[in-house]
Amino acid sequence: MAQATLGAAAVTGTVRDQQGSPVPDARITLTDDSKGMSHESSSDSSGEFLFPAIGAGTYTVRIEKTGFSAYLVNNLAVDVGQRAALNISLRVGQIRTSITVSAADAVMLDTQSNTIGTVIDPARVVDLPLNGRNFLQLGLLAGGALEVAAASNVFSANVGQPWRTCSLGPCLIR
């Protein structure tokens, strides 16, 4: 039985104070809104933190450090394979004071990875008129995707059955 592994998502970021200095040992809590499960981490000496392998979903991020106001990010949507990066600026204040930011309207730009990928939402799948109803054509919606020619002299560019590379006569399939 074969099993596909979907790319795990990640949330990373940097915690700094208002002057731009890193804030070490800040407590970061990442909560999955749909399941209520929480993950905890802390920032290192350079103010960076990482949640390396999380599932896709909507999260709430809470950053706390004694002497600073708590910082809360609501509705952080993380897709499969995405590496969401947050740059947090903490303000000096009481721990009871919190600053809330909604990530629902923010565009998450992945500056941490060179991976090219796209998540195709269900509405686009249903509304897309596929020629011949071939689901593989959905991959062409991703940026940088090109359709591969049926046969090519570059063997690494060929996909599918071995006979597709046999344009000049009979092929022997072993």
Q: Total structural domains in the chain?
A: 2
Bridge partners of 98? 70
pLDDT tens-digit map of 112-165: 555 556 666 777 777 766 666 667 777 777 767 777 665 555 555 555 555 555
Chain centroid to Cα 60, Å, comes to 15
pLDDT at 95: 53
- Within this chain, do residues 98 and 54 fall inside the same structural domain, yes or no? yes
> Does residue 42 lie within any of the structural domains?
yes
Tens-digit pLDDT profile for residues 65-121: 988 888 989 989 888 888 888 998 998 876 565 566 666 545 455 555 555 566 667
Residue 156 and residue 79 share a domain: no
**Does 98 share its domain with 127?**
no
Half-sphere exposure of residue 57: CA atoms within 13 angstroms, side-chain side: 15
pLDDT score for 21: 92
What is the per-residue pLDDT across 106-123, written as a single tens digit (0 to 9) for each?
545 555 555 556 666 777
Question: Is there a single domain that holds both residue 94 and residue 126?
Answer: no
pLDDT of residue 3: 42
Query: Looking up tokens 């509304």, which residue turns up?
Result: 127
- Same domain? For 22 and 98 the reply is yes
User: Are 81 and 132 contained in the same domain?
Assistant: no
pLDDT average, residue stretch 20-29: 94
Residue position matching structure tokens 């969401």: 84
Is 116 a domain residue? no
Assess whether 18 and 74 both reside in one domain. Answer: yes
Q: Which comes out higher in pLDDT, residue 56 or 131?
A: 56
CB atoms within 10 A of CB 76: 22
pLDDT value, residue 17: 92
Residue 79: give the domain boundaries. 9-102
Q: What is the DSSP letter of 105?
A: S
112 part of a folded domain: no
pLDDT for residue 25 = 94
> Do 89 and 25 lie in a common domain?
yes
Using 50, 70 and 90 to split pLDDT, how confident is the model at 2? very low
Same domain membership, residue 90 and residue 30: yes
Residues 6+ apart with CB under 8 A from 142: 116, 117, 118
Residues 54 and 139 in one domain: no
Q: What is the pLDDT of residue 9?
A: 87
- Residue 91 CA: distances (Å) to CA of 60, 66, 81: 19, 11, 32
Tell me: pLDDT of 47 over 80. yes
